[in-house]
Structures are given as C-alpha cells and as structure tokens.
Amino acid sequence: MPTASSDLSRRAAPDQGPADLPDSPPIEGAVDQTIHLRETVVRIADPFLLTLTDMLLFKLGRHLARRETE
C-alpha cells in the first residue's frame, strides 16, 4: 500500500528536461524545478507562497546573470 509521502513524491517529480542531464549546471536544474513549483503554487492560489517562489526565481536569475558575466 503506497504511503502519502511516496504518492506525493511521485506526483511532485517534474518531467526530465535538458537541465536534469548529469552534465548540466545545477543552477539550471534549480531554475527548471522552481518554474514547475511556481506553476503549482499558482494553482494553490496562496499569495505568500507565490511571493516566496518569485523571490527564489529572482535570486536564481541573479546567479545565472552573474555566471554569464564571468
């Protein structure tokens, strides 16, 4: 019998994309996962969680921009 946590982890696993490949930088995988998270948070309709998710995306974007200028 599946547990609630195992069921949740199966549903929460995003589709594997280019950023999930072993040779891609971890920051890109984090961005992809956060975009999936944001889509879910929009459906939840919690303004506080949406703000936190947007803040995370902005911070990850800053890391990407800094990496591009190095």
pLDDT tens digit sequence for 3-62: 444 444 445 445 555 445 566 689 999 999 999 999 999 999 999 999 999 999 999 999
Place of tokens 């599946």: 2
Domain ranges of the chain: 26-69
Q: Cα separation of 31 and 23, whole Å?
A: 16
pLDDT tens digit sequence for 14-26: 555 544 556 668 9
Q: Cα separation of 2 and 16, whole Å?
A: 23
Q: Cα separation of 59 and 64, whole Å?
A: 9
